[in-house]
Each structure stands twice: as C-alpha cells, then as structure tokens.
Amino acid sequence: MSKYATATTVKVLTSRNRLTRFRRWQFEGFEATFTFLKMAVMSKITSYFQVDRSFGVASPSSKASPSPAPPTPPTPYSPFAPSTPIVPNTSFAPSTPTAPSSSSSPFDEYLIWLVWTLLSDTPTAIKNTKLDSIMPSIEALENLLNASHLTVSDDLIEVLQAPTPPSIEWLKSLPSMATNAWGIYLLVLEKPFCRPLVYVGSGTNSKRGLNVRLYNYESETSLPVRVEDALNEGYVIASKGVLCSCPLPLLSSRFPLRGLCLLVEAVFAVVFSALEDRTKTYNLPLLCPWHVDMFEYDGLCTHSSISEGIRGEADHLDVVQKLFPQIDHNKTDAEKNETLAKENAERETRIAEQNARLLEQKAKRAAESIKGCTERKRIRYYNFKAVDFEGWQAWRRGYNQTQALRPELAGQKKVNLQNFYANNRASGKFRCEPCHINFPGKSQFDAHIKSEEHTDVASGLKSAKKLKVLTPAEERKRLQRVVDRAAARDAAKAARRYFCYPCDENYGTKSNLDSHCKSNAHKAAAAAATAAAAATSQSPA
C-alpha cells in the first residue's frame, strides 16, 4: 500500500464515517481488480474453445481445419477460493467415467464451466459436501448434465453475452410454465415508485415437479422469508419465469439431479445478482459478467443454495452406482413411464404397509391399556370384598339405591332447574329494560342482546312491545302454572291417559293426541290395524 494510503488509513481511524468511506473505496478497488482478472479468464476460456462471443458462429481458424477433441479445461482462478485447491471426494466416483461428449454445444460447455467453477472454488465450510461426492470430476458433471436433458431459454445465450445486464422486461418475458419437469425459476416483484426485486429458486417435487413450487406463490404458502416480507410491504409478484428445466427423473436418479438443480440455481443467483447483500461476495467465485451497479433491480436471496441439503437422501440410494447404470435414455417414453409408475407403486405399497403396522401397534396399545384398567378395577373390587365384607355390603346397598333413584333424581333435577329459571324471572336478574322482558338465564339474555329486535328497539327504530309488567308475586304464580302444566303432562304420560294404540305413541295432552290422530301416518296405521283385526276374526277357529 502506498504512503498516501497509509496516511489516509491513520487519519480515517479517528472518525467512523471516514472509516466507512475508506472501506467502501477499498472494496471498490478490490472489486475492480477482481473484475479485470475475471475478464482475463473469460477471454482465455473463449479463445480456448475457439468460438466468438455469440457462441453460435465458429471462428475462421476453426472452420479451416477440424479441431481435435478438447482436453479437460483447467479450473479457472477465483480470488475468493482458498489458497489450497479443493480436491473433491472421489470415493463414489464411477470406475470408468464416460469421456466428455464431443457433440455438446458451446453453451453447454460454458454452463459446465460455470457449475464446476462454483463447485470447486467454493470453500468446503459453506457448501454441502455431498455435492462433491455426486460430481467428483468435471467428466461426472458433464455425464450428469447430459443425462438430465436440461433445456434453457432460447435467448439466454444472447443475454449472457450482452454488454449490459438483462432488463426487467426480459425477465418478465420468460416462459411461465414447465409441465412434468424440474427446473429453476425466477420471480419478479414490483411496487410503484420502488426498485423491482428478483428471487431465484428451484422446484424438484417428485410427482408434479416445478408447478407445485410455483403454485405455492399463488396460494401464499411456504414462501421464502424475504419474498414474504416484500409481499407484506406491498410488492406483488409480476411474473414467474422458468430459466431452465429438465424432465421428471426416475426414482434412482432423483438424489443426484436434485444436487445438480441446487448448483444450477446457485449459478443463476450469482450470474443475475439475485443475492440480497451486494456489498459482500458470500465467499463465492465472481461469475457475474456485469458490475453490480448496472442492475436495475435488487435481489431477495438470503443465501446461496449450494449450502442447502439435498432431499431424497433418506432413500439410501447409492449415488453414482445407481445413476450411470440405470439412466438409459435409449428407452422409449412408454418404458420410462412404466418404470416410473412401478417405482411409485412400490413406494406407495411400502408406505401403506408401514401405516398399517403403526395402526395395528396403536390399537394393540389401546387394548392393553383398557384391559389393564379393567383388571385393576376388578382386583380392587374383589380385594375390597375379601378384606371388608361388611363395608362392601354397605357400599353395594348404597349403589343399588342410587341406581333405583336415578329416574327420580333426574326428575328432581328438572324441577330444580325450572325453579331456578322461575326465580330469575321473578327477581328480574336478567332483565332488558328497553324491551321490558325478564329472561330465565344469562344465555337467553345474551342471545337477546345480540338480536336485531333488541338492536332496533335500543336505537329507537322500533318501539318495544307493550307487555304487562308483572310483579314478583305474579311472575311466581305464572311460572308455577307452567310447572303445574308440565307436571300434569308427565302424570298423563305415566298414566297412559292419551295413548295411541295403533301407533304405540304416548302424549301428555288431549290436543297433542287429536293432532296426531289427524295425521296421515296415524290413519295408515289405524287402517292396517283394522284390516289385521278383520282378518283375525274371519279366520276359522
């Protein structure tokens, strides 16, 4: 560092604001240096593959003579990688890895370089180390990428080679649906008079793929933290675009392809600068071809997906040994669908058997609990009888008397409740003054207060009914008449005074019996009884 920089450092330490400005200036200087180094590496890689910046037109030298198969490209330099290069775990590597395909397009090679650079230059402490087991070499990465049949947007190649970052209009023009496929999506959130926001994610549902994840944003369930915060602040999701997609894989290849999707998601998050804090690098290699100040939107990703776990690990699948032998893309679609359906059926059968075992165990535990409770009661009952026989006899007599008096006790409880209501009405404990009504209990009083009739009377829209205000003595007499009528009905039922024999129905008042006799059901039952009696009388003795 120069003398001026050293003097400036000593001076800025006296003020917090100056220290902040110095750190920002220092970071911008480092970033400019790293950008220059990155451009140099990109130019080397471009000249190595002998193609121009359009990735679609070969250079004159490549047209003049056929180029031999390129060797494995060297690992690019990244200023944020550790000093010692990372050696991926090769314990799960295939014994004979397939050579890189010579028919790969230049963009496929560029995507392989991006993914491999991110995987190899990211420190081990901040990434999922199982990714190194899935893709221990660049050949394994290329084999996995070819097996996935990954497809990208048509104009994504031109956008990545443009001198300026993609606009919001281009991001909103991405395709919004991928049927029966996994993929990487990009959300655009907008709010009036605010900068747009961008989020990059992936969808790898086993049965319905990416559409399940996109539907979560419509139902607003399982949302990312920053996306949910933005929606609460007034942002709306303007578009849900698909950056790349691949067909639904077989069960044996879901685990490694989920790892590949996480890596591709992390690459697009870095390339399109979708990470939340742009003042730090998250210890990731600089893969973005543009300066962060050139973007017209901000990011919402709180972290890189390279550190996330890979779902499907509980299936105990051997990653590489099952990946290469079983992915046979020479099969027809019908054979692939048949294999996938068979695997899903076997998985559902295992789940159903497991659920059946759990239910059986739960029922067995419940039966043992009930049996134990009954056994304890039986032992306690007979122990009591054996130890204190006289006490047991006294308890048994009391129990028998209680059972015999149960109907009488129920009737007394009903009478007590009626007396309680009568006392409340007579005392005016629950009285509505605007409506001049006494209520027997608090529940009836609360229901009346919430009714429209009370609201209209209390607001003056409707006048209260002119009811005679009874004195407490008159209220008691009225309620006593109600109790007497109820007792008379019960006595009539007990004496079967108003009993309908054809219908075998018992009534408490004559008016109720007359109403029943006028019904069609009674007439039909009476006619049937008369016909049966006539048939019996005409039969020979």
Q: Does 335 or 113 have the greater pLDDT score?
A: 113
- H/E stretch holding 199 reads strand 197-203
Indicate the burial class of 362 (C-beta count within 10 angstroms; 0-12, 13-18, 19 or more).
exposed
Residue-level pLDDT at 325: 43
Give the residue from 435, 430, 433, 437 showing the smallest Cα distance to 464.
Answer: 435
Residue-level pLDDT at 246: 92
Residue 321 scores a pLDDT above 70: no
User: How sure is the predictor about 401, in pLDDT bands with cuts at 50, 70 and 90?
Assistant: confident
Residue-level pLDDT at 48: 46
Residue 4 scores a pLDDT above 80: no
CA 271, chain centre distance (Å): 29
- Per-residue model confidence as pLDDT tens digits over 161-177: 888 999 999 999 998 87
Q: Does 335 or 409 have the greater pLDDT score?
A: 335
Residue 206 scores a pLDDT above 50: yes
Residue-level pLDDT at 387: 76
Spatial CB neighbours of 70, under 8 Å, sequence gap ≥ 6: 48, 49
Contact 106, 52 (CB under 8 A): no
Residue-level pLDDT at 319: 45
**Quick one: average pLDDT of 426-450?**
85
Contact 378, 371 (CB under 8 A): no
CA 266 → CA 116, 176, 301, 349, 401, distances in Å?
12, 20, 10, 36, 80
Query: What tokens were used for 390?
Result: 């006289």
- Per-residue model confidence as pLDDT tens digits over 487-511: 888 888 888 888 888 888 888 888 8
Residue-level pLDDT at 33: 54
Residue-level pLDDT at 466: 59
Residue identified by tokens 């004559």 is 510
- Per-residue model confidence as pLDDT tens digits over 382-392: 677 777 788 87
Taking the C-alpha atoms of residue 522 and residue 178, their distance in angstroms, rounded to an integer, is: 68
Residue-level pLDDT at 38: 58
Residue-level pLDDT at 365: 79
Spatial CB neighbours of 537, under 8 Å, sequence gap ≥ 6: none
**Least confident range of 75-84, 129-138, 223-232, 384-393:** 75-84
Query: What tokens were used for 210?
Result: 């990416």
Query: What tokens were used for 309?
Result: 């776990």
Taking the C-alpha atoms of residue 299 and residue 283, their distance in angstroms, rounded to an integer, is: 17
**Quick one: average pLDDT of 436-457?**
86
- H/E stretch holding 260 reads helix 254-271
Bridge partners of 151?
245
> Parallel, antiparallel, or unpaired for β 437-439 and 498-500?
unpaired
**Quick one: average pLDDT of 79-102?**
36
CA 199 → CA 12, 130, 183, 185, 194, distances in Å?
37, 25, 14, 8, 16
Taking the C-alpha atoms of residue 337 and residue 246, their distance in angstroms, rounded to an integer, is: 15
Three-point CA angle 305, 307, 312, nearest 5°: 80
Give the percent of the chain with pLDDT over 90: 17
User: How sure is the predictor about 115, in pLDDT bands with cuts at 50, 70 and 90?
Assistant: very high
**Quick one: average pLDDT of 380-404?**
76
Residue 138 scores a pLDDT above 50: yes
Bridge partners of 240?
187
Q: What is the mean pLDDT of the chain?
A: 75
Q: Does 59 or 305 have the greater pLDDT score?
A: 305
Neighbours of 303 (CB within 10 A): 13
Residue-level pLDDT at 469: 59
Residue 104 scores a pLDDT above 70: no
Q: Does 430 or 312 have the greater pLDDT score?
A: 430
- Per-residue model confidence as pLDDT tens digits over 340-349: 788 888 888 8
